[in-house]
Structure 1
Amino acid sequence: MRPTPDALMLFAAGRGTRMGALTQTRPKPLIEVAGRPLIASALDLVRDAGLGKAVANVHYFSDQLRAYLAGSEVEISDESDLLLETGGGLRKALPLLGPGPVFTLNTDAVWTGPNVLSTLREAWDGERMRALLALVPRSAATGHTGAGDFDLDPDGRIRRGTTYVYTGAQILDPAGIETVSEPVFSLNLIWTRAIAEGRAYGVVHRGGWCDVGRPDCIPLAEEMLGHGA
């Protein structure tokens, strides 16, 4: 088992329905922000953090993502037959990722400031933690609508709440994920278990973050990156 996480799951299989017409002919990870596909920004984080392995799941317009990733060292977890959501998708990819805790990263956000994956790695303590989620304060969650996801206790543990928003980056120990009976499920189920065990923690990202889930988020992301009008 890896003493520290060195493999990462890129979630790239979703349909991106909130993007409307922009995802009628391409998958959301290939939508461009500041002239670059969203997945390119995610891959920058992976490379800059020096991680040893990355796996991307594919489903919607999978041929386009395969073509984009061809020649890279990113391995493919094929969900063409059935979109498995985050939990099912991670479980299917585990043979490619290898044993032990893994990073997971959504591909529909952009970041500024410290590399969030490096921040997670520095804060990870496998003796105490089953999950370590990167969070931003609700007031700093650009592009995000609605309430927050978690509250953060003084000792770093998280509980369901509204103060902080989950950014889509985490380290997770997937032990026990094989016991979930449903083929399609969210990692929310694993977080609930970890919270109940007192082993779910959060770390605050000290930079900018923009959720690029809707067309109107693209100019917000470009402005945050310094490419706005």
Structure 2
Amino acid sequence: MPNAVMLFAAGFGTRMGSLTADRPKPLIPVAGRPLLDHALALTEGRAPRVVNAHYKAKMVQAHLDGTDIAVSVERPDILDTGGGLRHALPLLGTDPVFTLNTDAVWHGPNPLDLLEAAWDPAQMDALLLCVPLARAVGRKTPGDFTLTDGRLTRQGDLVYTGAQIVKTDALHDIAEDSFSLNVLWNRMAQDGRLHGTPYPGHWCDVGHPEGITLAEEMLNV
């Protein structure tokens, strides 16, 4: 079973406005602790754990100093999710990995446990955890996917939560240095191997300032 975890923390956080002027988005506090720490709490007991960093990378490194969590610094350019994951593979190994965005907060069961329970490598190249729009707190745009017989197709009322298990072999077939994981997912979808599973709890997008208050309200439910 997958055990390595990649946590995405390299972005510029432009939607956060002035809140990211003096710190990277993953270090913005929500309910008394940084967003990154909310995400890391979901990964306890898994190893290795790798956090990527680019914008204000030294602050992320300092925050994790003294822990067993590796930091994959992207220099000179940011590599996006696909390029960032490929860059971190020497730290993650060759088996399928969990990936987790750090700009969301969860209210419900551990998302990685749900993915692990549903993972079937014989049928899947990626398994994305999705939440219905009605339980996607703070989501400002339409859904991402439709789920049919376990497989995902584009557009629909399901929101990708930023949590998945993914095989990484095909990352090496992509020529660009910086690219989104969407490139990989599109190839998997064409082969019928992009799968999804629903999240039964609530999930909050904390990629914009209003999401902080919404997440704190959600956590107090």
Smaller-chain TM-score bracket: over 0.9
Shift of 1:146: 1.2
Matched, 1:45 2:42: yes
Paired residues of 1:138 and 1:162 also in contact (CA < 8 A): no
In the alignment, which of 173, 179, 188 is matched to residue 185 of structure 1?
179
TM (norm. structure 1) is 0.95
Is structure 2 residue 56 aligned with structure 1 residue 61? yes
- What SS does the corresponding residue of 1:80 show, helix, strand or coil? coil
Report the AA paired with residue 11 of structure 2: G
Out of 78, 81, 92, the residue aligned to residue 83 of structure 1 is 78
In 2, the alpha carbon distance for the partners of 1:56 and 1:217 equals 22
CA distance in 2, matches of 1:217, 1:76: 26
Counting aligned pairs with the same residue, the percent is: 54
Check conservation: 1:58, 1:80, Cα contact below 8 A.
no
Q: Deviations over 1:157-198 (max 9, x none)?
A: 111012100000000001111111110100000100111110
2:201 is aligned to 207
1:25 aligned to 2:19? no
Give the TM-score normalised by structure 2.
0.98
Deviation, 1:57, is 0.6
Match 1:156 to one of 147, 150, 172: 150
- Which structure 1 segments of 5+ residues have no match? none
Asked if 1 retains the 8 angstrom alpha-carbon contact of 2:129 and 2:160, the reply is yes
For residue 216 of structure 2, the aligned residue among 205, 215, 222 is 222
Compute the RMSD of aligned alpha carbons. 0.9
Cα contact 1:62–1:80 (8 A) shared by 2: no
1:172 aligns with 2:173: no
Give the match's secondary structure for 2:77.
Answer: coil
Amino acid at match of 1:174: T
Secondary structure of 2:78 counterpart? coil
- Residues of 1 paired with 2:145 and 2:100: CA distance? 18
Aligned to 1:196: 190
Q: Which residue identity lines up with residue 69 of structure 1 in the other structure?
A: L
AA of the residue aligned to 1:41: H
Deviation at 1:88, TM superposition (A): 0.3
Structure 2: how far apart are the matches of 1:125 and 1:194? 14
The alignment partner of 1:10 has SS state of strand
> Which aligned segments of 4 or more residues in structure 1 are displaced greater than 4 angstroms?
none
Contiguous gaps of at least 5 residues in structure 2: none
SS in 2 for 1:55: strand
* Local SS of the residue matching 2:50: strand
Specify which of 8, 14, 22 is matched with residue 11 of structure 1: 8
Contact kept? 1:5, 1:100, Cα under 8 Å: yes
Q: Is 1:104 matched up with 2:110?
A: no
